[in-house]
């Protein structure tokens, strides 16, 4: 999956305006970032990229870039 497509999917999970994410955004500032969206991100990583993440790994992410970093090995430019 291309990095840009992955970020678009994260925008959907976070209910962010399409095209608005730069990566530096802090996750706690998104009202939609809760346990359900956390699980949605884990499902995206597993279903879309074949990466098995733990809740702990995702909880430790502070920014959108941190989320992308968890899946970087499977993303293309």
- Alpha carbons 36 and 18: distance in angstroms, whole number: 20
Instruction: Specify whether the CB–CB gap between 7 and 23 falls below 8 A.
Output: yes
Maximum distance among all Cα pairs of the chain, rounded to whole angstroms: 29
At 55-72, the pLDDT tens digits run 999 999 999 999 999 999
Contact 64, 24 (CB under 8 A): yes
What is the reported pTM? 0.92
Domains of the chain, each with CATH number or no CATH? 3-74 (1.10.1200.10)
Is the distance from CB of 15 to CB of 25 less than 8 angstroms? no
* pLDDT given for residue 26 in this prediction: 97
């Amino acid at each position: 999956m291309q990095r840009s497509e992955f970020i678009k999917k994260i925008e959907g999970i976070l209910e962010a305006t399409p095209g608005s994410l730069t990566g530096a955004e802090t996750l706690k500032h998104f009202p939609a970032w809760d346990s359900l969206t956390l699980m949605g991100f884990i499902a995206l990583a597993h279903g879309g990229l074949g990466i098995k993440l733990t809740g702990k790994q995702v909880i430790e992410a502070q920014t959108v870039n941190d989320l992308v970093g968890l899946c970087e090995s499977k993303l293309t430019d």
